[in-house]
Structure 1
Amino acid sequence: MTSTSFSQLKAFQKTGFLKLSNVIDVKKITHLRGQFWHEVNNKFDISLSNPSTWFRNSSNPVGGSGAKRLNGMGPMMRDLKASGKFDAIEEMMQSAIDPIFSDYTLRPLDLWYSLLSFPGSETKWNVPYKSWHNDEPIVVGDSNPWSLFVFLLLDDVSVDMGATVVVSGSHRRAEQLAERIASPDQEAAIKAFDSVNSGLIDDPKNTRLLTTDNLLEPLTQEDPWMKALVTESTPEQRIKQFVQEGGTFNGIEQKVVSLTGSAGDIIILNPRCLHSTSANVSRLPRQVIRLDFRRSV
């Protein structure tokens, strides 16, 4: 492992996320974005360059006031994957992450996810107080996640475009909590994640887990900063407290960070981190797709 890869790994282990710049060159990104929107236009009659088409169908895009998503993107993404149009991009992403996570093998799963979101009705960006969650159980004694979420930015993504927000260091807070309250005999929870943890659990009956449903409440009960995070307050208060100032609990620094970047960047996220969606107030679609990489022995 090079010194650069080592420092990148340490940064990821500390914060739970890592941005790698210019992984996919502009020409390839432009081509991929064109293919993506060609399919969106064919399936949904929506054109990126014609905003009047974005909400022509009153039942799609769907969502709340913060941002709207296209319903029914799964089949389109499966078709794009099956066509081989993502293959070269996957290889470039694999080559970028392998040197950093060289202690184990990572392999892409079969499905890409579209995180395309359109503007909602909100006009002022705020740190969300709802929908904070993690997507993978916390395993006592195994700090390496079963999988990695890798976001590919198809365009420049700024905070006001509704970028995914993450609480930096929250996976480490979750590990501290799991050490104290996680229970064994979680075979059902392990089985629910068969697609990513197969072969990684030697003794399911005695593996101690903190499930995704049981993380947020105890965190908010013991940490006033976390409690405030899930309590509604003004944008000015929330941006100051959570983005600018952050907090510290049990020696771990916490701050809300927006996963922003430029077209062609990739952002690697530990799915055990607390994260959420934020409002797209930019009046532009947020063009991001996600590929999950499974860890294997």
Structure 2
Amino acid sequence: MLTDEQTARFESDGLLPLPQAVPATTALAMRDRLWAFLSIMHGRRHDDPTTWSAIEGRVGFKTLMRAGAFDGLSEHLSEPVTDLLGTAWKPPAHWGHPLVTFPNLQAQWAIPARNWHVDSTQWSTGPIPGVVAFTFLNEVRPRGGGTLVMAGSHHLTWELCRQAGGFMKTSTMKAVLAERHSWFADLWREPVTGEQQLRRYLDEGDVVEGTHLRVVELCGRPGDVVLMNQDMLHVAAPNTLDTPRMMLSDFITRIPDEEPG
């Protein structure tokens, strides 16, 4: 069961790390099954870095998911999800959508300017429309491809949707935020690369409309889990280290209360 402190942290930041929420042995077994799939279907072998080029076209992860490769996550994620959403939530049809980012040693690590988005653009009467669960299958270190999340941004996106009457496209949200605040405008103008600018977003953050914002890089070890509010702005990040980023994501939506009859 989550503590009051953990619940408060999730409400404030929109993120909650759960170290070793999944047994490491379970996570590593899932990693091995993912590698087997990548080897058989795409020729990417765990013991041969020369095969680790990005996969073009359809990857076919749904086949692996439908086979139940990651359904064991339900046993470990259901309790913390229920603590946050209550009992009325919709589980994934098949648990564990793989997120794989192979290394690009020639790339310069940067905070991307494009493709920031939210997974829920629908305002709900509650501040938590649902969560995205990220489960680490291998160690993901800083600058190793971990998803970048803007901690605290759910407060702003939720309010924008409410003011718009219930729905707002991510592109519209970003345009409004960039027009109002230079912190967003600068972030989305061009990739952030300089150490001073990286510190501005990764370490210092800023207070916008009374909310402290900071870009957080999701890092962890096999079996670690991070729960994220669906209203959070986030983006895929480059992997400039020497090992692939392997995580699973699960989109879990709260079932809204029924309207009174």
Query: What TM-score results when the alignment is normalised by the length of structure 2?
Result: 0.89
The 1-side partners of 2:212 and 2:77 are apart by 29
The alignment status of 1:155 with 2:138, answered yes or no, reads yes
Q: 1:30 and 1:236, CA in 2 relative to 1: closer, same or farther beyond 3 A?
A: same
The alignment status of 1:118 with 2:112, answered yes or no, reads no
Shift of 1:150: 0.7
- In structure 2, the partner of 1:17 is 15
- In structure 2, the partner of 1:28 is 26
- In structure 1, the partner of 2:81 is 97
Amino acid at match of 1:80: L
The alignment status of 1:262 with 2:221, answered yes or no, reads yes
- In structure 1, the partner of 2:209 is 250
- In structure 2, the partner of 1:72 is 58
- In structure 1, the partner of 2:46 is 48
Q: 1:166 and 1:296, CA in 2 relative to 1: closer, same or farther beyond 3 A?
A: same
Q: 1:9 and 1:45, CA in 2 relative to 1: closer, same or farther beyond 3 A?
A: same
The alignment status of 1:283 with 2:242, answered yes or no, reads yes
Whether contact under 8 Å (2:123, 2:158) holds in the other structure is yes
Structure 1: gaps of 5 or more residues: 63-70, 184-207
Secondary structure of the equivalent of 1:139?
coil
Q: Which of 181, 198, 208 matches 1:223?
A: 181
- Any residues of structure 2 matched to 1:199-214 within 5 Å, and which? 208-214=166-172
The 2-side partners of 1:122 and 1:273 are apart by 30
Whether contact under 8 Å (2:117, 2:233) holds in the other structure is yes
The 1-side partners of 2:17 and 2:124 are apart by 27
Secondary structure of the equivalent of 1:149?
strand
The 1-side partners of 2:214 and 2:66 are apart by 39
Aligned length: 254
Secondary structure of the equivalent of 2:230?
coil
Shift of 1:102: 5.2
Amino acid at match of 2:101: S
Q: Identity percentage over the alignment? A: 24
Determine which structure has more spread, i.e. the larger CA radius of gyration: 1
Shift of 1:256: 0.5
Q: 1:269 and 1:122, CA in 2 relative to 1: closer, same or farther beyond 3 A?
A: farther
What do residues 154-175 of structure 1 show as CA deviations (whole Å, max 9, x unaligned)? 0111121111011111110123
The alignment status of 1:82 with 2:30, answered yes or no, reads no
Q: 1:177 and 1:79, CA in 2 relative to 1: closer, same or farther beyond 3 A?
A: closer
The 1-side partners of 2:174 and 2:154 are apart by 11
Shift of 1:226: 1.0
Query: What TM-score results when the alignment is normalised by the length of structure 1?
Result: 0.79
- In structure 2, the partner of 1:237 is 196
The 2-side partners of 1:45 and 1:218 are apart by 44
Secondary structure of the equivalent of 1:116?
strand
The 2-side partners of 1:276 and 1:72 are apart by 20
Amino acid at match of 2:116: W
251-260 or 136-145, which deviates more:
136-145
Secondary structure of the equivalent of 2:243?
coil
RMSD over aligned Cα, in angstroms? 2.0
The 2-side partners of 1:212 and 1:177 are apart by 10
- In structure 1, the partner of 2:259 is none
Q: 1:168 and 1:102, CA in 2 relative to 1: closer, same or farther beyond 3 A?
A: closer
Whether contact under 8 Å (1:125, 1:235) holds in the other structure is no
Secondary structure of the equivalent of 2:161?
helix
Shift of 1:104: 4.0
- In structure 1, the partner of 2:150 is 167
- In structure 1, the partner of 2:123 is 139
The 2-side partners of 1:6 and 1:170 are apart by 21
